[in-house]
Amino acid sequence: MDILSQIVKLLYRNKYWLVILPILATIFAIYQTKNLTRVYEVSTTIYTGIASGFTIESGLESGRVDWSTVNNGMDNLISIIKSKGTLRNVSLRLYVQDMMYGDSLKDNNYIQANNFRNLVRITPKEVRALIDKSSEEKTIQNLNAYEKATPTNFVYGLFNWIHPHYSYTALSNIEVSRLYNSDMLEIKYSSNDPGIAYNTLVILNDEFPKQYRLLRFGETNDVVEYFRNELARLTLKLRLSEDTLTQYSIDKKVINYAEQTKQVTALSKDYEIMYYGILLKYTSSTTMVAELEKRISEQAKAIEKNGIFLKKLDEISQLSTQIVRLEAFQNDSSSTYSNTIKAYKEKRNLAEIDLKAYSAAIYDQKYTKEGVASSSFVDEWIVELIEREKSTAELKVMEEIRKSLDQQYVYYSPIGSTLKRIERNISFTEQSYLSVLQSLNTALLRQKTLQMNSANLKPINQPLFPVAPMPTARKMIVLATLIGTFVFILSFLILLEIFDKTVRDKQRAERLIPAKVLGAFPRKNRFRFRSYRKEYERIATNYMANSIIPYLNPKEKPDIINFISTDDGTGKSKLIEHLSNYWNERGLIVRVMSWHDDNFGDSRDFLLSNNLYDFFDYDNEDIILVEHRSILKSAIPAGLLKEASLNLVVVRADKVWRDIDKIAFDRLKIQANNTPVLLYLNQASRDVTESFLGLMPPYSKLRTFVYKMIQFGLTSK
């Protein structure tokens, strides 16, 4: 409660500062904001379709939305809108538009007249000459050609300087925000020119989709172009590889390598069986011929020397050779030699019959030595001989066939590995071709999706030309000035209250010194309430006398009251005068002693005395009021302090309590020992004295009410 009371008193004590200064600051703020710039705000809403829009990929993937991708896409789009490249194009187009359609005499929907005049004023002549009012595109081309990245170039500096309408600093104030978690963006822009604010967003709505397509298509176009080039290269490589395979197959006469080698293997197996069958017949017939020739050696020699016999035997051998050759080809399912083989076999049978008949006719010897008929051995020999010749002819043919098959193996073996190598290269190229083709299809699909997404970048709320400015912040500025000034002053006063070492009132005196404050005497009022000065002194004197009475001891006359100060000019003499007169009026015998007297002060008797009786004879006084010199200039004997009923230290309320004052006061308390040492505030303000004396006149209703509030008499009567 004490703290709250101190705060209330602080506010009341500085009421004029807390009222007048905020009011003055508020009036100044009102004056300064009378020509506050009017701001026009324009907004537009863009539908992006990134989250909910339909694309080619919508039906190819799961129905779940990848919110991370969506958020990334929205962030990228916002960054594109606020990028320097986009805003630079907006700035240039806006400048060209204003230069082409602005009017220096009246406002229009493009730019206000005063802003247009300022724009023309700062535009150099050579730049104005580039403005082609018949073609906006031609003007933009002229300015782009004129622009150079130098500080003195007007077109370059227009965007990079601090122009209020066309600079990056101004255009970067465009606000782009996502509406909740939707795929819509809200774009806001404010300017002091309604036409510029409106046309800035109109141009921006046309410009940022171009930048979006340029950036996104630039990525996909490079990817698509790469895959197309790679696909063309692989197509050519695949065609060359296939042509190489075709030409190699033609050169090597390969139609179906697997089937051809399979047939060669099958023929080799069949011919191998035939070969060993013929070899068996040849071996058997050769053995039989040799055995029979032993029995009919003479006849055999005679027959073998016969030219006709040999000729007929050779004919049978040739026919057998032809038959074997044709039968070898007969194994091929596509062969049509059946009739020819049949004819050759008939000829061979006739030749065998003729040979047997001829051999029987040329020999007449009938029996051998063993008594067996020679004709039967000759016939058998002829048969085996014919069989041997047939086997010999067949073996020759089969040897040729085996050699041919061996050549086929030698021929086809390298062809197989070469074909596999070529086919493997073709397969690898084909897989690469298919992979690149799939990647190209994916890239084209992505490109088409981006085209559809960029087509979705459409405003659903077009920018509207602002017809009225936004409410200004003038009220807020004035209110903030009022509150801010009040808070600043209050904070300053609180800091002053905390760190100020001026004695001022009871609470601060008891905190700084510390000692109990007996009372306070008011200072003279120069203007207000000066007519009540005598009344204030009377009330204060009465309170001071009544406050001292409890410390007096009538049984031990006289009661000595020491008036002490740490410095000169504290008003001790005036207080003693008021107090002496007050008690004299009431019949008390009061004697006043002062250091101004010749026998009192810095004399030897005074400095060495233990009490007043040593150099002063009492004369039936009731009270002795002793005014001492300031203790910083003259010491007070300890005996004089101890014999007193009260040591009253007078302190000016409007003076600072110094460190030297504290040292002197602490020494005084030690010297006084158990004798009371109290403080008395002089030259105190009326508010301070009222804390001791109560409400002082005049007693108006307002002052009475304020006093009750300060004393927290909220419900008192």
Q: Which two tokens stand for residue 604?
A: 């030897």
The answer to whether 220 and 212 have CB atoms below 8 angstroms apart is no
CA distance 130 to 109: 23
What is 503-685's CATH number, 3.40.1710.10, 3.40.50.970, 3.40.50.300, 2.30.40.10? 3.40.50.300
HEC-encoded secondary structure of 305-329: CCHHHHHHHHHHHHHHHHHHHHHHH
CA distance 601 to 579: 21
What is the model's pTM?
Answer: 0.52
Per DSSP, the three-state class of 678 is strand
Per DSSP, the three-state class of 284 is helix
CA distance 585 to 589: 10
CA distance 576 to 627: 8
pLDDT at 359: 66
Condensed to tens digits (0 to 9), the pLDDT of residues 267-321 reads 778 777 877 887 887 787 788 777 766 766 655 665 665 666 667 677 777 777 7
CA distance 656 to 496: 13
Residues of the chain with pLDDT under 70: 1-2, 5, 51-66, 218-219, 292-293, 295-310, 312, 328-337, 355, 358-379, 450-456, 526-529, 531, 598-608, 614-615, 698-717
- The CA distances from residue 211 to 156, 205, 676, in Å, are 20, 11, 91
Condensed to tens digits (0 to 9), the pLDDT of residues 69-122 reads 778 888 888 888 899 989 999 999 999 999 999 998 999 999 999 999 999 999
Provide the H-helix boundaries in 456-570. 474-499, 506-512, 533-548
Cis peptide before 164 (omega within 30 of 0): no
CA distance 147 to 141: 10
Domain ranges in the chain are 1-26+472-499, 27-223, 257-453, 503-685
Closest CA to 457 of 127, 207, 698: 207
Strand partners, 680: 519, 650
pLDDT at 444: 81
Chain-centre distance for alpha carbon 17: 50
- The CA distances from residue 423 to 75, 246, 247, in Å, are 50, 11, 13
Which strands make up the sheet holding 184-191, listed edge to edge? 175-178, 184-191, 40-47, 458-461
pLDDT at 640: 85
The dihedral sign for the CA sequence 264, 269, 274, 276: positive
Question: Cα-flanking dihedrals φ and ψ of residue 640, to 5°?
Answer: -65, -30
Give the number of other Cβ atoms within 10 Å of residue 518's Cβ: 21
Q: Which two tokens stand for residue 35?
A: 């020509």
Strand 40-47 with 184-191, pairing: antiparallel
Which strands make up the sheet holding 646-652, listed edge to edge? 517-522, 677-684, 646-652, 559-564, 623-627, 590-594
The answer to whether 305 and 378 have CB atoms below 8 angstroms apart is no
